[in-house]
Amino acid sequence: MLLRKQFQNSPTAARVAPFGVFLLLTFCQGQFDEDFRYGFYLLKTLVGAWLIWEMKPLVAEMRWAFSWEAVIVGVGVFVIWVGLDGFYPKLSELTTKIGFSKPEPTNLWNPHARYGEGSALAWLLIATRIFGSTLVVPPLEEVFFRSWLYRYIVRADFQSVSLRYFALFPFVVTSVLFAFEHEQWLAGLLCGFIFQGLVVRKGRLGDAMTAHAITNFLLGVWVIWKDAWQFW
């Protein structure tokens, strides 16, 4: 309740702080050994769900909405994400080439390889990952990028900016920042453009949340079906 009171005092904090906490936890997740990393992801998912629960009454636009456009966009972005793989360097490869980071050994997120093919623990972790990417990540990211950041760039009083409002500069900046949050940065950039376009077209955030959830769910299914763990 204390956290919710803090959110009540600041519409910006209600939209930025949950994403910031989740992003910080994502960064910390990669700093531990493999076993702890899996457990930490479960903790991060639970914290993310709690943050959504706390912000939900205060962020009016964070409401799931279903439409045929959301389904088409969700499936289409999934196809783009998978289809482009292998045709451009990943973010870590780019940062290594320009000297921003050092090469690191490949460390795929694959519970089957760690805990045994078909083990109960492996499937629990996989189910947690699909749950988190489908139902936790989309609300947090869409609220931050396409509800707050896009409109805040337009005007500090972001709540006075309609979700239907289109402006080229925030459209590009928001999508670029969204892209570099992902290892598959090019797919992320196109994804940012498409999701933001959907918000502008529909005038609400819920369709983009649904599209984002569909994309992430299909990607999770693809990862398991094709052993394409590089996407996780």
Residue 174: pLDDT band with limits 50, 70, 90: very high
Give pLDDT, residue 27: 86
Taking CA atoms, 232 is separated from 1, 6, 58, 107, 129, in Å, by: 33, 33, 31, 10, 9
Give pLDDT, residue 113: 86
pLDDT in tens, 95-137: 888 866 665 555 678 998 888 888 999 999 999 999 999 999 9
Give pLDDT, residue 3: 66
Give pLDDT, residue 107: 64
Q: What does the pLDDT average to over 176-180?
A: 96
Taking CA atoms, 183 is separated from 8, 40, 100, 106, in Å, by: 34, 20, 15, 13
Instruction: Classify the C-alpha dihedral 121-219-174-7 as positive or negative.
Output: negative
CA dist., res. 109 & res. 215, Å (int): 19
Length of the chain counted residue by residue = 232
Q: Name the pTM for this structure.
A: 0.92
Residue 35: pLDDT band with limits 50, 70, 90: confident
Give pLDDT, residue 9: 79
Average pLDDT taken over every residue of the chain? 92
- pLDDT at residue 162 greater than cutoff 70: yes
CA dist., res. 110 & res. 113, Å (int): 6
- pLDDT at residue 94 greater than cutoff 80: yes
pLDDT in tens, 15-27: 999 999 999 998 8
Give pLDDT, residue 172: 98
- pLDDT at residue 61 greater than cutoff 70: yes
Give pLDDT, residue 108: 77
Span of 28-42, 59-73, 216-230 with lowest mean pLDDT? 28-42
Give pLDDT, residue 87: 94
Closest CA to 229 of 84, 147, 129: 129
